[in-house]
Amino acid sequence: LVMRPLCLSLFLIQFVRLSRQQFPRPCTTPEALQSKQCCPVWPGDGSVCGARSGRGFCQDVVVSDLPNGPQYPHSDVDDRERWPLVFYNRTCKCAGNFMGYNCAECKFGYFGVNCAESRESVRKNILHLSGSDRQRFISYINLAKNTISPDYMIATGTYKQMNNGTNPMFAEVSVYDLFVWMHYYVSRDALLGGPNNVWEDVDFAHEAAAFLPWHRVFLLLWEHEIRKLSGDFNFTIPYWDWRDARSCQVCTDELMGARNPLEPNRISPASIFSSWKVICTRPQDYNAREVLCSGEPEGPLLRNPGNHDQSRMSQLPTSADVEFVLGLRDYETDSLDRRSNMSFRNTLEGFASPQTGIAVTGQSTMHNALHIYMNGTMSSVQGSANDPIFLIHHAFIDSIFEQWLRKHQPARTHYPASNAPIGHNDGYYMVPFIPLYQNGDYFLTTKALGYEYSYLLNPSQWFLQEFLTPYLDQAQQIWPWLLGAGVLGALIAAVIGVTLAKTCGLKPKRNKHSGHGERQPLLSSSEEEASTSYQTTL
């Protein structure tokens, strides 16, 4: 009964939005691409970037000219270089608490018509969610998988292939797959011209400093889009605390999907995720054809947790591993990439040992270990976001990043301003987000971004969020049943009482010597029957 209104509302939302948009729809036209301007009108006042209402204004994009590291030796061959200048050199600059490609939305942590309400949201342990919260999470992400994004489209070709903007190549995509495509696009190989002529040693969101800030913004935007889609602005992404786990605790049909007993690489047919189709999982094919992922379905979601290459990763990360990583003082060190030693970022990402902090080859630790452990779609960087476990895994990685920030309280100068691999310097705009976000702006605590993790709360708040609130929520759902059972029990008791009263009142007239002898057995028998019936009903 409780879930019926939710299901109905989700159906109506999906029905409405399927009819009608990572590039803002208004900026995918030949006019926008050739003018290189992405400054859409805010419908609220009919002005560009909501300028009349003081929300923002259209301005030139100024990118950092500080040097990058030597890992990527090319220039002017990839659309992601000096993002977003290949596509746009003017975008909306929002004022105050406003955000969005046309300044129509609120910054992270702010709500209300004028974005004046500040509120902290709490991300909870998925294993401690109430039944309704679990169902809500699954329903929302499945809704996102099956609803066309009303605001964004994905690029299916390079700017050059679009004939420098005169022939736009964009496709519609679901809200969920929009984020799958973004994760693919930021980590894909650079196309240098010609079949299989690519540069593989490039990634604008992994293997260097931006790994943690980029995924922090990625999760915040994903959370933001789910709230817009569902209308539930209290929604938060749950996290999976996998410390010391000996199996995939979330691989159940009530959560992220159990293993298919007949096909171990597939999801159980009892899970909604068994019907999901993946996108952007064939990088070798794209490279051979010199194309981008088009967002077309490419097969089922695959997962076979625990049956991975044991020589690459022997066990899931432990509590001791996490504590060691949190003790590392430097965010980045020496080469500023996957070869860095004693680097918090590199060790947490999984390219260094969580026992020594020394970079390792052929091994996957910490964050990387979970991807390898899942042994399927999740194990390939470019397509890994297809698996919804990606979200709850990265939420926990983000919480470890948050612990480190609170413990060491680093100044922004600890984040590399220059000489990091391309895409990772402090002032670099994150690929492929529009509106624009700079890496260094998200090297800060979640408190400034309006969210918290339940296990990082003080003990009393943690108890309230993790245990008491789910219990009360569960009680709230079943109280109509308890009330109904109580009323029914009262009615039954009343009927039995009236029957006993009548029976006991008549029998002495028939046989005045048998008054007490018949009442007691009848009363005992009725109590036993009523008790059994009540317990069964309850």
| pLDDT tens-digit series, residues 496-529 | 766 666 665 544 444 444 444 333 333 333 333 3
* Residue-range domains of the chain with CATH: 123-307+375-472 (1.10.1280)
Check residue 459 and give its pLDDT: 79
The alpha carbon of 209 is separated from its chain's Cα centroid by a whole number of angstroms, namely 21
Q: Where are the beta strands (DSSP E) in 305-443?
A: none
Residue 344 burial class via C-beta count within 10 angstroms: exposed 0-12, middle 13-18, buried 19 and up: buried
Give residues with Cβ within 8 angstroms of 435, minimum separation 6. Answer: 91, 92, 94, 99, 100, 101
Give residues with Cβ within 8 angstroms of 492, minimum separation 6. Answer: 530, 533, 534
Alpha-carbon torsion (505, 508, 511, 515), positive or negative = positive
Q: Does 411 have pLDDT greater than 50? A: yes
Cross-strand partners of 154: 171
For residue 480, name the pLDDT band (cuts at 50, 70, 90). low
Q: Does 267 have pLDDT greater than 70? A: yes
| pLDDT tens-digit series, residues 231-250 | 999 999 999 999 999 999 99
Q: Does 392 have pLDDT greater than 70? A: yes
Check residue 161 and give its pLDDT: 97
- Integer Cα distance of 284 and 231 in angstroms: 39
| pLDDT tens-digit series, residues 83-113 | 999 999 999 999 999 999 999 999 999 999 9
Element (H, E) at 99: strand 98-99
Q: Are 155 and 292 in contact (CB under 8 A)?
A: yes
Mean pLDDT of 169-176: 98
* DSSP3 helix / strand / coil % (the chain, rounded to 5): 40, 10, 50
For residue 22, name the pLDDT band (cuts at 50, 70, 90). confident
- Integer Cα distance of 439 and 225 in angstroms: 21
pLDDT greater at residue 56 or residue 491:
56
Check residue 467 and give its pLDDT: 56
Check residue 240 and give its pLDDT: 98
Q: Does 474 have pLDDT greater than 60? A: no
Q: Does 34 have pLDDT greater than 70? A: yes
> Which of 72-81, 178-187, 297-306, 493-502 has the lowest average pLDDT?
493-502
- Integer Cα distance of 403 and 395 in angstroms: 13
Count of H helices and E strands in the chain?
13, 16
As a dihedral over the C-alpha atoms of residue 446, residue 447, residue 449, residue 451, rounded to 10 degrees, the angle is 70
> Which of 130-144, 188-202, 287-301, 524-538 has the lowest average pLDDT?
524-538
Check residue 155 and give its pLDDT: 98
Q: Mean pLDDT score of the chain, rounded to an integer? A: 88
SS3 312: coil
| pLDDT tens-digit series, residues 218-228 | 999 999 999 99
| pLDDT tens-digit series, residues 113-138 | 999 999 999 999 999 999 999 999 99
The alpha carbon of 492 is separated from its chain's Cα centroid by a whole number of angstroms, namely 50
Among 137, 58, 67, residue whose Cα is nearest residue 92: 58
pLDDT greater at residue 61 or residue 481:
61
Residues of the chain with pLDDT > 70, as a percent, come to: 82
| pLDDT tens-digit series, residues 294-346 | 999 999 999 999 999 999 998 999 999 999 999 999 999 999 999 999 999 99
- Integer Cα distance of 39 and 504 in angstroms: 87
Mean pLDDT of 174-202: 97
Give residues with Cβ within 8 angstroms of 268, minimum separation 6. Answer: 253, 257, 258, 259, 260, 261, 274
Among 93, 78, 111, residue whose Cα is nearest residue 38: 93
Q: Does 18 have pLDDT greater than 60? A: no
Q: Does 462 have pLDDT greater than 70? A: no
DSSP H helices, 434-468, are 459-463
